[in-house]
């Protein structure tokens, strides 16, 4: 419906654009006709005034023919009677005796001075506005001819007797006033056009406002849905899909990944001891902290399977096989440290036996990508190497990390570890040698992590993490705890 309305508005805009030249042409024709009609009426009124004056004053009194100045004044009055917007004035610098002097304003004096200096120049015109009316004044010189010179130099009422042919005696001024409304309605087609355009523009603006509001609501809804969807996907997968790098099609590829698998030991018995609401709260808190650590190290969180966590490194982004393995190991160690912090907090809240977690890491080739049907897909990994990571965590002691030889070979410069007995894993045609990570190595040698969580004991000691200033305090606390156990 919105598309149809926009199409109609677009068609209207096209018609309006096409109609503009037509409206201009119609107005120009109308203005031309109006101007010609006005000139015709003005000329007819002027001729009528002249004929009336001639019939009333000249024909009936042939013996009293006026001199040119008197004739001009009388003729101007006759024209003005028929054309109220036209005024004719005859102004002389030297009127005869007994006649009132003619009034001159600044424009008259300036025009007279200019015309006296050069009588042959075109008439001088002044255009001004009086209220909402346009006022045009045209001034032309009154030049003395031979018969005028003879008359004025001999007439006893003349105030100047040294006239010469070609002298400028005064001016004749024609004033026409035209209200703006007279010309405004000459643009009636353009006015109609602009009214229609204004309504079309207002309709278009309203339509665009509705479309913008609908688009904003749609965008808000999509943003909300997108945010909700992001909770079900790893950020890397989410970003890859929404940036267009990954298509929502069934497609997999072989990649060498570092796979991390963790599981909470005795989770079933723990869940039996806790109320469902409390268990849910602890589990969500645990997953939240572990997920934040995984994302911080660049891991792709595959899924949560009950109390287990599956994370892999190397897809959709990879820093190289070695760096991916190192990131997986550092993530696991940080998870163990953070779990010790959580356990201490949970014990303080009255949880007698918090979570104890086993972790396994393996590096190898897996199929990674979209698995499932055309209607329901899951971005995950499949392969024996992923199963090996799960098997490694199953043989790990709570609080420890067990890695395969392939992973250990990539991180051996970072850690100290010891090997366990080789084991066989279904789907892998080789003996797998597991390595238990003892701790991080530094320049002075191996630094071990000591961790234990039993009833009455919540211990996590990482000597490499203890600040030098706190070393003696840590020793004092450990000695005091050992003395208390010895004195039981």
Q: Which contiguous run of DSSP H or E holds residue 312?
A: strand 308-313
Among 152, 186, 220, the domain-final residue is 186
Per-residue burial over 471-487, b if 16 or more Cβ lie within 10 Å, else e, is: eeeeeeeeeeeeeeeee
Q: Give how many domains the chain has, as a whole number.
A: 2
Residue 78: inside a domain, yes or no?
Answer: yes
Rounded Cα distance between 84 and 133, Å, is 14
Give the 3-state secondary structure of residue 421: coil
Task: Please report the pLDDT score of residue 82 as a whole number.
Answer: 63
pLDDT tens track for 68-87: 666 666 666 666 666 667 77
**By the 8 A CB rule, do 134 and 178 touch?**
yes
> For residue 204, what is the enclosing H or E element?
helix 188-230
Report the candidate in 228, 233, 226 with the shortest Cα–Cα distance to residue 378: 233
Q: How far apart are CA 55 and CA 42, in angstroms?
A: 20
pTM to 2 decimal places: 0.55
Q: Are residues 337 and 441 in the same domain?
A: yes
Q: Give, as one character, the DSSP assignment of residue 353.
A: S
Based on the fold, state whether residues 24 and 139 are members of the same structural domain: yes
Taking 70 as the pLDDT cut, the residues of the chain under it are: 1-6, 9, 12-13, 16-18, 20, 23-25, 27-84, 132, 180-190, 230-231, 242-248, 442-455, 464-465
The reply to whether 242 falls in a domain is no
pLDDT score at 340: 87
Read off the pLDDT of residues 204-244 as tens digits, 9 standing for 90 and up: 778 778 888 888 888 888 778 777 776 677 777 777 776 66
CB 332 within 8 A of CB 407: no
Q: 358: domain CATH number?
A: 3.30.70.1230
Final residue before a domain boundary, out of 163, 186, 209: 186
Owning domain of residue 9: 2-186
**Which single residue is written with the structure tokens 């005869």?**
96
84 secondary structure, DSSP code: T
- Please indicate, yes or no, whether residues 14 and 100 belong to a single structural domain of this protein: yes
Residue 200: inside a domain: no
Residue 158 to residue 151: CA distance in whole angstroms? 9
- List, for residues 109-154, the tens digit of each pLDDT value: 898 889 888 988 888 988 887 776 778 888 888 888 888 888 888 8
Q: What whole-number distance in Å separates Cα of residue 474 and Cα of residue 341?
A: 16
Which residue is it, tokens 């949970």?
346
What are the angstrom distances between the C-alpha of 384 and each of 135, 361, 363, 367, 388? Answer: 101, 13, 11, 10, 6
Domain-embedded: residue 203:
no
In angstroms, rounded to a whole number, what is the distance separating the alpha carbons of residues 311 and 290? 10
φ/ψ (deg, to 5) at 443 = -65, -25
Query: What 3-state DSSP class applies to 154?
Result: helix
Question: 237 lies in a domain?
Answer: no
User: Do 301 and 180 share a domain, yes or no?
Assistant: no
For strands 435-442 and 445-446, give the pairing.
antiparallel
15 and 157 inside one domain: yes
Where is the domain boundary, 151, 167, 186?
Answer: 186
Does residue 224 lie in a domain region? no
Compute the distance between CA of residue 426 and CA of residue 160 in angstroms, rounded to an integer. Answer: 138
What radius of gyration, in Å, describes the C-alpha atoms of the chain?
53
**Residue 477 falls inside a structural domain:** yes
Distance CA 261, CA 273 (A): 25
- Cα separation, 274 vs 278, in Å, equals 6
Q: Which pLDDT tens digit goes with each residue over 22-49?
A: 766 676 666 665 655 565 556 555 555 5
For residues 171 and 271, membership in a common domain is answered with: no
The verdict on 285 and 404 lying in the same domain is yes
**CA-wise closest residue to 19 among 197, 183, 147:** 197
315 and 179 assigned to the same domain: no
């Amino acid at each position: 419906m919105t598309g149809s309305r926009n199409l109609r508005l677009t068609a209207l805009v096209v018609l309006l654009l096409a109609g503009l030249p037509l409206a201009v042409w119609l107005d120009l024709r109308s203005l031309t006709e109006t101007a010609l009609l006005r000139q015709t009426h003005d000329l007819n009124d002027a001729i009528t005034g002249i004929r009336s004056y001639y019939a009333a004053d000249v024909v009936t009194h042939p013996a009293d023919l006026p001199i040119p100045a008197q004739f001009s004044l009388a003729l101007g009055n006759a024209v003005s009677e028929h054309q109220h917007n036209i005024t004719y004035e005859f102004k002389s610098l030297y009127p005869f005796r007994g006649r009132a002097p003619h009034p001159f304003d600044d424009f008259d004096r300036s025009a007279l001075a200019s015309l006296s200096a050069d009588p042959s120049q075109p008439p001088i015109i002044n255009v001004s506005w009086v209220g909402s009316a346009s006022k045009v004044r045209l001034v032309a010189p009154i030049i003395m001819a031979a018969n005028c010179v003879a008359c004025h130099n001999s007439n006893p009422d003349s105030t100047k007797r040294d006239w010469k042919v070609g002298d400028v005696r005064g001016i004749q001024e024609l004033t026409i006033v035209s209200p703006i409304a007279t010309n405004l309605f000459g643009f009636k087609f353009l006015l109609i056009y602009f009214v229609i355009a204004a309504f079309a523009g207002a309709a278009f603006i309203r339509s665009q406002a509705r479309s913008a509001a609908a688009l904003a609501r749609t965008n808000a809804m999509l943003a909300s849905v997108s945010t909700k969807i992001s909770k079900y996907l790893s950020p890397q997968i989410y970003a890859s899909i929404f940036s267009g790098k990954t298509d929502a099609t069934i497609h997999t590829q072989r990649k060498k990944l570092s796979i991390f698998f963790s599981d909470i030991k005795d989770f079933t018995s723990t869940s039996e001891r806790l109320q469902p609401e409390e268990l849910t709260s602890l589990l969500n808190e645990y997953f939240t902290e572990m997920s934040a650590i995984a994302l911080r190290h660049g891991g792709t969180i595959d899924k949560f399977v009950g109390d287990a966590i599956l994370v892999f490194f190397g897809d959709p982004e990879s820093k190289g096989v070695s760096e991916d393995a190192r990131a997986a190991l550092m993530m696991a160690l940080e998870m163990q440290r953070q779990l010790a912090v959580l356990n201490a907090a949970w014990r303080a809240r009255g949880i007698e036996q918090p979570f104890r977690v086993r972790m396994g890491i393996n590096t190898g080739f897996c199929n990674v990508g979209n698995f499932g049907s055309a209607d329901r897909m899951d971005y995950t990994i499949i392969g024996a190497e992923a199963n090996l990571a799960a098997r490694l965590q199953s043989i790990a002691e709570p609080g420890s990390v067990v890695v395969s030889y392939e992973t250990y070979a990539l991180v051996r410069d970072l850690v100290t570890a010891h090997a366990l007995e080789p084991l066989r894993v279904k789907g892998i045609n080789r003996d797998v040698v597991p390595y238990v990570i003892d701790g991080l190595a530094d320049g002075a040698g191996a630094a071990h992590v000591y961790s234990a969580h039993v009833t009455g004991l919540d211990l996590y000691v990482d000597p490499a993490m203890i600040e030098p200033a706190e070393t003696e305090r840590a020793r004092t606390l450990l000695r005091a705890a050992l003395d208390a156990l010895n004195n039981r």
